[in-house]
Amino acid sequence: MQQEQKSVRDLKIGETGIICCLTDPEMSLKLLEMGCIPGEEVKLNSRAPLGDPITIIVNDYTLSLRLDEAATIKLKA
Amino acid sequence: MSEVLAPAPASVPHTSSVSSSRKVAKVALIGNPNSGKSSLFNHLTGLNQKVGNFPGVTVDKKTGISQLTPNLKAQVIDLPGTYSLYPKSLDEKVIIDLLHDKKSASYPDVLIITADASNLKRNLLLFTQLADLKIPAVLALNMLDVAEKHGVKIDVAELQKQLGVPVIPVNARTGSGLAALKIVLSQELEKPKSSFFQVPDELLAMVRQIRYYFELSNDYLAWHYAHQYQKLSFLSEDDKEYIGELVKKYGFHSNALQASETIDRYARINELLLDTMRVTRAENNEQVSNKIDQILTHKIFGYLIFFGVLFVIFQAIFAWASYPMDMIDLGIASLNNWIHSQAEGPLVDLLTEGILAGLGGVLMFVPQIAILFAFIAILEETGYMARVTFLMDKIMRKFGLNGKSVVPLISGVACAVPAIMATRTIDNWKDRMITIFVTPLMSCSARLPIYTVMIALVVPERYLLGFLSLQGLVLMGLYLIGFVAAIVSAALLKWVLKTKERSYFIMEFPTYKMPRWKNVGLTIVEKVKAFVFQAGKVILAISVILWVLSSYGPGNAMEQAEERAAAELTTLNLEEADAEAHLAGQKLEASYAGQFGKFIEPAIRPLGYDWKVGIALLTSFAAREVFVGTISTIYSVGDSENISTVKEKLLAEKDANGQPFFTPARAFSLLIFYVFAMQCMSTIAVVYRETKGWKWPILQLLYMTGLAYASAFLVFRLFS
């Protein structure tokens, strides 16, 4: 079940979601500091030409991160 | 405890008598990246900046003096940008080493915390952590105009009340609000009144034990000791063990506690912002930037534009810089001639050939450094550098490099020295080290003279298919070999290099801004100063040593060489110019450098070289292009400027069996040697300065020389 939960990685461009939880304990600290707090809305803003990294909008500003980092931000169903 | 500017003459005895009752306050600037911190630092200190070292890390310590009032100065220290007090990189570690150690020499009396008003929520996270440390502080609220444009209205008076510290609106771009900030700083500031985080009850006993043991002024500082004791470099092993045992005993889970602290703080900040911030227009504020990004990060135009930018940078440091460089060269040469016309003697020679030549070697790099950093500062200031990383990350990551490694690598084709300085923009320590390590493998412009001479010597001037110059193809091949070696070495290092630091890509994607020209100018000044004063020392020293080695010989060997040359002169019946060249060759042979060449001959014979080439290997350590000059001297060429004269002389050179010495095998072996070898003292000096130690430059020297030796050996075997 854990595996099938949607993450920021699975969003389409322009699509939004609500952050549910962060799965990587160490990386989550960095993400939390950058404002990726459970309950906040995230929107997938763009993808780099090669598909990775991506930019997301959270807390009214743009954040760029790699796909495997985005995969640790799980979304509420 | 509002002792900010209270008299303490003992600590700073050298202040002027005017402010005899005042000491110089120590002010630390701290804030999120992109919050206008550096601009504010530049406004506060202007050209009164100094770059020093934080012990043990590669980050520069920028300090400067700011005149607060006519008779009150403050020493301002610019701390690395950070999002929180829990460091995620080695560079950020200097912040806790400074703020968590009251005995530290630079421990600040007061903090200026910069915050981007258009992004206040995230910026306040760091603020609340700092406020809980209870160091007197001011909040410099920047970019209120941007916030207002986005429909965000901030009630500054209410914010000041809630945060418990003075809040000064500033505009770091124009410098407005600076006067108010200076006035507030010149006053006695109190510790922040508000607290934003309480240590959980069940851990209070542990935190108090740490607090009393280390005599700390508050619980939150002790809490940080519990979290970060392993990272604090000022704690002794015993201290660390003491905390380690407590942490184990109380089941202190650093990660989980840090996460919940951050979430709690954001909850407090959200509450606080309800009273102080009003958003009238909830529209997405990044539209303009997004539109620009659709072009600049487009899958075709994005790369085309980026390569266009790279091309312009490359042209600039390759072609434009050559004019001021030629002028410096000419200036040093005419100064040398003038000195020689005034006086002669060994001391004059030391001054001209040793010191001035070394100085010329240092100044020679200034135009390239200035031009490259003008471009880099503009790329950073506008926000385009973040897009470069975004575009290149996936490709570069495969080789253990970073999206930002592209700029240094390409600049390395002109010159490794400014290129290595440009790696400073790479935040991740491992990525930066790998980039520094492989950049000198890119064929720089100093290799070109060697390439040209050697290729002219052994590659026929033929055209393939009527238009492809064979010589051109070989030249291109050499550049390619260098590039491939750089990429492969990077990929190797990626596996070898172990770090505790985890590498994240997560970064703020700044909106596009116009560059602030003052910042661009100060960046250039700072980089040039850093190079001239720090790397310059090493270059000058090596230059003098090399001069001594090639002008002096053991015992009376030099006199004997002169006599021999004079004696041979009559038998050989040489013309005056040739006679002088002959004498220079004889003297070089007799010098320490000549001895060195003979000494290493057994080691370089497998590569096909003799002791004459050995001398050139030594002297070209000053700069690769010196190879051609030395070879000309040793073969008594006379006019070393003329390639065809050099070529003729070299072609006429015979080996022991009377066959031509420079066979294709020897020439290619030399070419490959110079593709790989770290034959450049300036690069070594700049790697020393950028990595703040001798470990990396020495490893690099060994690796590159080893690679050069092995490859040259193979090539020589293959061709002969």
Q: Where are the domains of chain A?
A: 2-75
Residues from chain B contacting residue A59 (CB–CB below 8 Å): 119, 121-122
A16 near B CB under 8 A: no
Q: Name B527's Cβ contacts closer than 8 Å, sequence gap at least 6.
A: B369, B370, B373, B421
Residue in B121, B148, B153 with CA at minimum distance from that of residue B35 = B121
Asked if B449 and B423 touch (Cβ cutoff 8 Å), the reply is no
Q: Where are the domains of chain B?
A: 17-186, 201-279
B83 near A CB under 8 A: yes
Angstrom distance (rounded) from CA A17 to CA A39: 9
Q: Is B383 left (phi over 0), alpha (psi -120 to 50) or beta?
A: left
Tokens of B224: 């940080």
Report pLDDT digits (tens) over B427-486: 788 889 999 999 999 998 888 888 888 888 888 888 888 777 888 889 889 989 999 999
Q: Which is higher by pLDDT, B319 or B284?
A: B319
Angstrom distance (rounded) from CA A70 to CA A77: 16
A66 near B CB under 8 A: yes
pLDDT at B708 > cutoff 90: yes
3-state secondary structure B68-99: EECCEEEEEEECCCCCCCCCCCHHHHHHHHHH
Cβ distance A60 to B285 less than 8 Å, yes or no, reads yes
Strands B25-31 and B72-78: parallel
Rg (CA), chain A: 11
Indicate the residue of B122, B393, B511 with minimum beta-carbon distance to A48: B393
pTM for this entry: 0.81
Residues from chain A contacting residue B88 (CB–CB below 8 Å): 29-30
Residue in A47, A22, A42, A53 with CA at minimum distance from that of residue B503 = A53
Handedness of CA B279, B281, B287, B288 (dihedral sign): negative
Asked if A56 and A69 touch (Cβ cutoff 8 Å), the reply is no
pLDDT for the residue numbered B404:
83
Task: Name the phi and psi angles at B338, rounded to 5.
Answer: -60, -45
Report pLDDT digits (tens) over B666-699: 999 999 999 999 988 889 999 998 888 899 999 9
Tokens of B645: 């004269």
Give the distance from residue B517's alpha carbon to the nearest chain A alpha carbon, in angstroms. Answer: 25
Residue in B192, B15, B211 with CA at minimum distance from that of residue B111 = B192
Residue in B652, B655, B672, B675 with CA at minimum distance from that of residue B717 = B672
Report pLDDT digits (tens) over B46-88: 877 877 766 656 677 889 999 988 888 999 999 988 999 998 8
Indicate the residue of B386, B389, B394 with minimum beta-carbon distance to A52: B394
pLDDT for the residue numbered B66:
92
pLDDT for the residue numbered B10:
42
Angstrom distance (rounded) from CA B617 to CA B24: 52
Please identify which residue in the block is written with the tokens 């003697």: B345
pLDDT for the residue numbered B2:
42
Cα B563 to its chain centre, rounded Å, is 50
pLDDT at B496 > cutoff 50: yes
Q: Name B150's Cβ contacts closer than 8 Å, sequence gap at least 6.
A: B118, B281, B283, B285
Q: How many CB atoms neighbour CB A44 within 10 A? A: 20
Distances (CA, A) of B400 to A49, B195, B671: 20, 43, 28
Mean pLDDT, chain B, as a whole number?
86
Indicate the residue of A57, A61, A63 with minimum beta-carbon distance to B506: A63
A3 near B CB under 8 A: no
Residue in B115, B140, B160 with CA at minimum distance from that of residue B44 = B140
DSSP per-residue letters across B564-633: HHHHHHHHHT--HHHHHHHHHHHHHHHSHHHHHHHHHHHHHGGGT--HHHHHHHHHTTS-TTHHHHHHHH
Residue in B226, B195, B197 with CA at minimum distance from that of residue B209 = B226
For the A2-75 domain, the top CATH level (class) is: mainly beta
Mutate to test the interface with B, among A62, A63, A67 (most CBs of B within 10 A): A62
pLDDT for the residue numbered B500:
66
Reported as a pLDDT band with limits 50, 70 and 90, residue B91 is: confident
Across the beta sheet with A16-22, what order do the strands follow? A73-75, A16-22, A41-47, A54-58, A61-65, B507-508
Residues from chain A contacting residue B285 (CB–CB below 8 Å): 60
Q: What is the ipTM of this complex?
A: 0.93
Angle, helices B643-652/B626-634, rounded to nearest 10 degrees: 50
Tokens of B457: 């010597």
Q: CATH assignment of B17-186?
A: 3.40.50.300
Tokens of B432: 């930066």
